[in-house]
Amino acid sequence: MNDVQTGTVSARISPAGGLDILSRNEVARLRDASGSGLHGLLRRCALAVLTSGDVSDDPRGMFEQYPNFDIQVLQQDRGIKIELSHAPAKAFVDGHIIRGINELLVAVVRDIVYVSTQLEQGNFDLDDSVGITHAVFEILRNARILKPQIDPNLAVCWGGHSISRDEYEYTKLVGYQLGLRSLDICTGCGPGAMKGPMKGATIAHAKQRRRKNRYIGITEPGIIAAESPNPIVNQLVIMPDIEKRLEAFVRMGHGIIVFPGGVGTAEEILYMLGILLHPDNAGIPFPLIFTGPKQSAAYFEQIDKFLRLALGDQVAQYYKIIVDDPIAVAHAMVRGIDKVRNHRLDNKDAFFFNWSLNIPPAFQQPFAPTHEAMRSLAIHRDRPKHELAADLRRAFSGIVAGNVKEEGVRAIEKYGPFEIDGESEIMLALDRLLQAFVEQHRMKLPGGSAYVPCYRVLTS
């Protein structure tokens, strides 16, 4: 049933691949709209998928546009059906749901059901570092993301959703060069620097007549409403929280390319560097490249300056900055991945999941960015470098929550901005970096109201 006035469609669809049957208990939990049920989470993630391609970073905007949307999973004799009410009409063509969107809907149901079931049955030990890594592995395996018997070829691309047109075009050029060299792409699945590399790679893969290409999107419930999956993603996985999302990138990827971005990108950089700085990971190759067009050179100079100030000049040995040269980026990534391959062979580690990398609990345990937690961060240079990186990562994570996650936005509205305190020299550098992000429009997508900081850095 189409509603022309509201631009919505109501339909009952058959899931496309990857989800055959569910138990009665699983269906009941998906339909349960109480606080302990899964229906609210299902509804939020499903609407994000159905608005795939929309460019917005307002976590409430989707439901303001589609307030009557609902989704129900129905159990029938021949399997399950998904019933959509007042769904965005853009997800349909001639009365039929777009195949790719159908597949992403299935991924939403699959991951929500699987994670909740495993937690309910006590199969995930999330209080233990090994148990958390096991949970990340099992979620990825259940999503059929892990592919054995394939040489390392997965380039993870990080970067902002709010970037300039020049920066976006550059991400496509880099993706194109990666695709020409038969590399698959994994991103956070949203717009901007998460979409551009995939778009460029699709053209290169087509030119090389390469099939079975992987455009993997990894997200989590708190961010998906603000960053709907882009239309190129053909494998989607929803991790339970940001920390497991980040671990999934690092465990699966064979190298990481960082494009310009904002606080979310800074969080990702500090996560990766904190892990590489840990003594247990010395000697483990992991290519990490910062790149952008010449217009973004100052951005990476700011990032590099901040990292050196906070973590010491030695931190620069873990990354390479390449400006305005997509071919050089691709060459560096291919060489780096070749080192990863040889190291995995020598150490009998899997190509599809990096078991040997030690990810400390400080990078695994979920950080709830309350006002108290943000004020309590220990940002001082007298700590081990990897521990300082962990708290700096948390600071940026809290700002991300205050910018785009619904619970963070509500907390800021209720209690005012987060306060971040620490060593004065680092605080001054952090304040300058964040102000640069604001001036460069990296905090929020352009076109809306002026950005109001959700944080206050205490510099005196």
Tell me what the pLDDT averaged over the chain comes to: 92
Residue 57: band (very low, low, confident or very high) from pLDDT cuts 50, 70, 90: low
For residue 2, what pLDDT is reported? 62
Residue 59, pLDDT > 70, answer no
Listing DSSP states for 45-65 in one string gives HHHHHHTTT-----TTHHHHH
Residue 422, pLDDT > 70, answer yes
Residue of 172, 136, 165, 17 whose CA lies nearest to 82? 17
Exposure of 65 by Cβ count < 10 A (0-12 exposed, 13-18 middle, 19+ buried)? middle
Summarize the confidence of residues 357-386 as an average pLDDT.
95
Residue-wise burial string across 264-278, b where 16 or more C-beta atoms lie within 10 A, e elsewhere: bbbbbbbbbbbbbbb
* Beta carbons within 8 Å of 422's beta carbon, 6+ residues apart: 377, 378, 379, 380
Instruction: Say how many C-beta atoms besides its own lie within 10 A of residue 363's C-beta.
Output: 25
* Beta carbons within 8 Å of 19's beta carbon, 6+ residues apart: 80, 106, 109, 110
Exposure of 159 by Cβ count < 10 A (0-12 exposed, 13-18 middle, 19+ buried)? buried
pLDDT digits (tens, 9 = 90+) for 270-279: 999 999 999 9
For residue 58, what pLDDT is reported? 63
For residue 93, what pLDDT is reported? 94
Summarize the confidence of residues 94-103 as an average pLDDT.
93
Chain region(s) in the chain for CATH 3.30.1850.10: 2-123
For residue 54, what pLDDT is reported? 64
Distances from the Cα of 138 to the Cα of 15, 122, 237, 250, angstroms = 22, 13, 12, 15
How much of the chain is helix, strand and coil, in % rounded to 5? 50, 15, 35
Exposure of 168 by Cβ count < 10 A (0-12 exposed, 13-18 middle, 19+ buried)? buried
For residue 55, what pLDDT is reported? 61
Residue 447: band (very low, low, confident or very high) from pLDDT cuts 50, 70, 90: low
Q: How many Cα atoms occupy the beta-carbon half-sphere of 78 within 13 Å?
A: 3
Residue of 50, 48, 30 whose CA lies nearest to 40? 30
Q: Which CATH architecture has domain 2-123?
A: 2-Layer Sandwich (3.30)
User: Length of the chain in residues, anyone?
Assistant: 460
Structure tokens at 171: 């991400």
For residue 161, what pLDDT is reported? 86
pLDDT digits (tens, 9 = 90+) for 24-42: 888 888 998 887 789 999 9
- Helical packing angle, 39-50 and 99-120, nearest 10°: 160
Distance CA 69, CA 359 (A): 40
For residue 26, what pLDDT is reported? 87
Least confident of 7-11, 78-82, 390-394, 445-449: 445-449
Chain region(s) in the chain for CATH 3.40.50.450: 148-361
Evaluated on CA atoms 275, 278, 283, 288, the torsion sign reads: positive
In the chain, % of residues over pLDDT 70: 94
For residue 227, what pLDDT is reported? 80
For residue 448, what pLDDT is reported? 61
Structure tokens at 83: 């019933």
Least confident of 114-123, 212-221, 443-452: 443-452
pLDDT digits (tens, 9 = 90+) for 284-311: 999 999 999 999 999 999 999 999 999 9
Summarize the confidence of residues 115-138 as an average pLDDT.
93
pLDDT digits (tens, 9 = 90+) for 157-175: 999 988 999 999 999 999 9
For residue 6, what pLDDT is reported? 59
Phi, psi of 8 (to 5 degrees): -125, 165
* Beta carbons within 8 Å of 319's beta carbon, 6+ residues apart: 258, 273, 288, 289, 290
For residue 75, what pLDDT is reported? 83
Residue 446, pLDDT > 70, answer no
Distance CA 18, CA 143 (A): 8
Listing DSSP states for 221-257 in one string gives HHHHTTSPPPTT--EEEE-SSHHHHHHHHHHH-SEEE
Residue of 27, 54, 52 whose CA lies nearest to 38? 27
Structure tokens at 51: 């608005």
> 148-361 has which fold?
Rossmann fold (3.40.50)
